[in-house]
Amino acid sequence: MIIGEHRPSKLVIDREAIRHNIREEVQRLPKDCELFMVVKANGYGHGAVQVAAAAKEAGAKGFCVAILDEALELRAAGFDEPILVLGVVEPEYAPLMAREKVSTTVAAEDWLAEADHYLKLSQPKEPLRVHLGLDTGMGRIGFQTPAALQHAVAFLAEHDTVFTFEGMFTHFSTADEASADYFHKQVERWDAFMAAVPDKPRYVHVTNSATSLWHADHNINIVRYGAAGYGLNPSGNTLKPPFELQPAMSLVSELAHCKQLAAGESVSYGATYTTTKAEWVGTVSLGYADGYERRLQGFHVLVDGQPCEIIGRICMDQFMIRLPHQYPRGTKVTLVGRNGGAEITLQEMAEYCGTINYEIACGFTARVPRRYTH
Ligand SMILES: *Cc1c(COP(=O)(O)O)cnc(C)c1O
């Protein structure tokens, strides 16, 4: 997708906020526990390579991604830290991962048998680093019983020229919720898995942002730190973080057009909004093709420190707002972030859209340029 360089709409990413959110967490970790910054989905929309660099400066010792291509992007950018792919990669890419020293998640023993075939065919110099995923109740990927885990561990031991048993982990599905009942059920299953493997691999890990913020006693030797690193509260507004999370992402633009409409004039597709008196209307060059969701009709942006309602439907590339009076073209418009004394957070946008802050952050498309401060 073409990047809109010649348009005033841009995402501004504050690297210092990311460093702050990571430093605060690193300070809380036990001595032998490392923070791996999760930079999947282009760093939750913030830009994976830039985030990885800021994270490294703040003390991150490795990275997690969702898909192999995201790991290769980091390697191509020169990062030589450990990188773990959290999703299942097709076994035919096992030799590529081995060569690139990318650690992979394994969720089933037949995967190992297939990967073994490909690794023996292409004989990479390095063994493939394997983290065994354990399903303790997320129901997504992973071994389901301690017996299945023991089998996989035995397979790795028998094939130690092509595999390195580097890690085992699980993922909690409710660590961001007020009730800890389901969380404890998952912990119990995790304990049974642990008891089945006396010789632990180098990395044993269970914590995402929510778990490390609110169940810190479960940190083992990696924290897979995502949302909180970007200043996003993983619980929305439900739980209060133990330190201040600073949002790293703002979205700004400028008025592309400003005009007065007489009473009884309508705005945008479907003519869903009609003025009741003479009104000043501004146009902003951003739309749902940029990830500025159509569902945001009726929400607001900030101009001159004041909330201005989004009127009429959001178009693919533009939308309209009601202004208190005339403003010149080029006046700053803040869609996310601070403007004057006011602020719009990704969380507020998410609530308006009936979703979570994560989805809004990673939903901004490649057309919106990312600019970095600090
Ligand atoms: C995305 C992901 C994380 C990071 O989660 P946050 O809530 O953003 O901290 C950690 N572990 C796994 C397995 C994930 O898929």
Q: What ligand 1 atom has the least distance to the C-alpha of 225?
A: 9
pLDDT of residue 272: 97
Q: Is the pLDDT of residue 279 over 90?
A: yes
Q: Is the CB of 208 under 6 A from ligand 1?
A: yes
Which letter does DSSP use for residue 157 in this model?
A: H
Q: Which atom of ligand 1 is nearest to the CA of 176?
A: 7
State the average pLDDT over residues 67-85.
98
Residue closest by Cα to atom 10 of ligand 1: 208
Per-residue pLDDT tens over the stretch 346-356? 999 999 999 99
pLDDT in the model for residue 219 = 78
In this prediction, residue 119 has a pLDDT band, given cuts at 50, 70 and 90, of very high
Quote the percentage of the chain above a pLDDT of 70. Answer: 100
With contact defined as beta carbons under 8 Å apart, do 337 and 250 qualify?
yes
Buried b / exposed e over 262-285, threshold 16 CB at 10 Å, is eeeeebbeeeebebeeebbbbbbb
Is 327's pLDDT higher than 90? yes
pLDDT at residue 218, rounded to an integer: 84
Residue predicted with more confidence, 219 or 116: 116
Q: Which domains does the chain have, with CATH numbers?
A: 15-230 (3.20.20.10), 249-344 (2.40.37.10)
Does residue 303 carry a pLDDT above 90? yes
Identify the pLDDT of residue 217.
Answer: 87
* C-alpha span between 225 and 327 (Å, rounded): 42
Closest CA to 207 of 161, 175, 253, 241: 175
The b-or-e profile of 19-34 (16+ CB within 10 A means b, else e) is: bbbbebbbeebeeebb
CA–CA gap between residue 75 and residue 80 (Å, rounded): 6
Q: What is the pLDDT of residue 35?
A: 98
The backbone torsions φ and ψ at residue 85, rounded to the nearest 5 degrees and listed phi first, read -85, 120
Q: Is the distance from the beta carbon of residue 85 to the nearest atom of ligand 1 less than 6 Å?
A: no
Q: How far is the CA of 90 from the centre of ligand 1 (A)?
A: 21
Q: Which atom of ligand 1 is nearest to the CA of 86?
A: 13
- In this predicted structure, the answer to whether residue 289 has a pLDDT above a threshold of 90 is yes
According to the model, what pLDDT value does residue 254 have?
98
Annotated binding site for substrate: 140, 316
CA distance 373 to 271: 40
Q: Which residues contact 34 (CB under 8 A, 6 or more apart)?
A: 61, 62, 221, 222, 223
Q: Does pLDDT of 220 surpass 90?
A: no
Contact 325, 335 (CB under 8 A): no
Write the CB contacts of 99 (distance below 8 Å, at least 6 apart in sequence): 124, 125, 126
pLDDT tens-place string over residues 18-73: 999 999 999 999 999 999 999 999 999 999 999 999 999 999 999 999 999 999 99
The tokens for 204 are 């044993």
Q: Is 269 annotated in the active site?
A: yes
Torsion of CA 346, 342, 18, 360, to 10 degrees: 10
Cα 374 to chain center, whole Å?
A: 21
Say whether pTM exceeds 0.95: yes
Does the active-site annotation cover 352? Answer: no
Q: Of these residues, 40, 230, 288, 358, which one is catalytic?
A: 40
Three-state secondary structure call for residue 89: coil
- Give CA–CA dist 21/234, Å, rounded: 13
Query: Side chain identity at 208, as an amino acid letter?
Result: N
Q: Which residues pair with 321 in a beta bridge?
A: 282, 310
Whether the pLDDT of residue 141 is over 90: the answer is yes
Q: Which amino acid is at 323?
A: L
Q: Is the CB of 38 under 6 A from ligand 1?
A: yes
Give pLDDT tens digits for 147-166: 999 999 999 999 999 999 99
Measured in angstroms, how far is the CA atom of residue 227 from the centroid of ligand 1?
Answer: 8
Query: In DSSP terms, which residues pair with 63 in a beta bridge?
Result: 37, 83
Average pLDDT, the chain: 97
Q: How confident is the model at residue 296 (pLDDT cuts 50, 70, 90)?
A: very high
